[in-house]
Amino acid sequence: MIGLIGISYKTTPLEVRERFSFSKEEIIPFSEMLQRETEISDLVLISTCNRTEIYFSQDVHDNQTAFELVYEVIKKFKQVTDHCWHHFYHRSNTGAVRHLFEVVSGLDSLIIGEDQIIGQVKEAYIRCTEAALTDAVLMRLFQKSFEVGKRVRTETGIKLGITSVSSAAVEMCSCLLNGVNDKSVMLIGAGETGNLALQNIVKKGVSKVTVTNRTHEKAEKTAAKYNGGTVPFDLFEDSLHESDIILIATSAPTPLITKGMVIKSLQLRCNKPQVYVDLSVPRNIDKEVAGMENVSVLGVDDLQEIVRQTTEKKKESAAKAQIIIDEVVSDYTEWLASRSLRPAINTITTNLQAINLEELSTYRKLSTPEMQEIVDDYAKHLTHRYTRLLIKNLKDLTDNGKNIDSLKTINDLFKFV
C-alpha cells in the first residue's frame, strides 16, 4: 500500500497548519517514533508553508488502520491533544500517486504552476532517501513525480504569469506601495523561500537591499548578489525602520517580529507606511501587528484574489497537465501492480526448474550420453514452454497484478516443493 496523509491550505487554516509544521531536524525523530509505534518505516515527509504531507509505503496494516495510526503518531509527536482528524485528508495507492503528481506539477498549489514546490519536494525526498527512509516503491514514485513536473512545465503554458507565493506577495507589495522602484527591502532569513522572494522584488526595481540571517555568512552571500548590505541577526530590530518592505521567511517556532518592534520602527519613520510579508510557517510576525495603522501585513493566506485571477488564466494549461499526469499515473501503477506478481513468477520458474532437474537425474542413470543430451534439450524446452504459459495466464487472470484477490491462492498453488 502507498499511503498519503496530510493537511494543506485547502483544508486547514494557517493557525492549524503551523501546529503540524515539521522542521528538517524533526524528520528523523518522527520517523523513529513512527517505526516504533506502527512498524511503518518507509516515508517521505514534505512540510512547506502551504502543506504538511506524509507519503508512506507499508504492507503491515489495512488502509484505514494505517491512516489512523500515522495520524495518532503525528499528533503525539507534535504534542497536539485536540481532535484534528477532520483537517486531514488521506489517499491510498492510485489516489496518493495522482495527488503527488498534481502537487509536484503545481496544480495543487495556491498559485497554479508555481516553481518552488518541485524544489521543496526534491529536497524532502533526498533528505529522506539519504536517511534510508525510502523503499523502492517510494523511490520510483518520487522519481516519476519529478518526470511529471518537468513535462508539465515544458509541455504546457502553466509557468506563465505568477508562479509562486512569493511572486504573488511581491505583486501585492507593488500595489500597496504604488510601485517599488524607489523602495527599500529587508530580508530576514536567507533560505530558499526568502531568496526567491528577494529575487522577485529586485526584478521589480527596489532601490536598496538589506539581508539578515542567523548564519551571517549566508546573509553576506545573498546580499552580494544584489549589491546589498547586511545587519547582524540579533540586531535586525534596530534596522527595521530603514526599509519600506520587510520580507521574513524563517523556520523560527515563535514570532520574531513583535508589535513593540513595529511601533518603534514607525516612530523612527514618522509613521511612513511599511509592508511586512510573512512567508513563514509557523508565522514569524505577531498577530497584533496586522491591525496597526500605516502597516500592511501579507501572509501565505492573504493572496486569494491574485490566486483567483491566475487560476482563470491557467485553466487550459491545467487541463493539458492532467493528460500528462494520467499517462504517468498509468505507467507507474502498471509497474507497481507487476511487482505483486514477482513472488508467484519466481515460484513458478524456480519450482518447474527444480522438478525438471529432479526428473532428469533419474534418466541420466539409464541413458547413453547421446540420449541424455536429447532428453535434456527436450525437458528444458518443455519447462520453458510451460513456464511462459503459466506466467501469461497469471498476468491475464490478475490483470497484470491489479486484481490481487486470487494472488494468495495462486502463490499457494505453485508451491510444488
Decide if 113 contacts 186 (C-beta within 8 A).
no
| Distance separating alpha carbons of residues 318 and 271, to the nearest angstrom | 44
Q: How far is CA 30 from CA 96, 153, 229, in A?
A: 21, 33, 38
Q: Cell for 246? A: 520587510
**191: number of Cβ within 10 Å:** 16
Judging by beta carbons within 10 Å of its beta carbon (0-12, 13-18, 19+), is residue 86 exposed, middle or buried?
exposed
Residue with cell 494472488: 407
Decide if 73 contacts 33 (C-beta within 8 A).
yes
Query: Has 49 been annotated as catalytic?
Result: yes
Please give the positions annotated as active site. Answer: 49
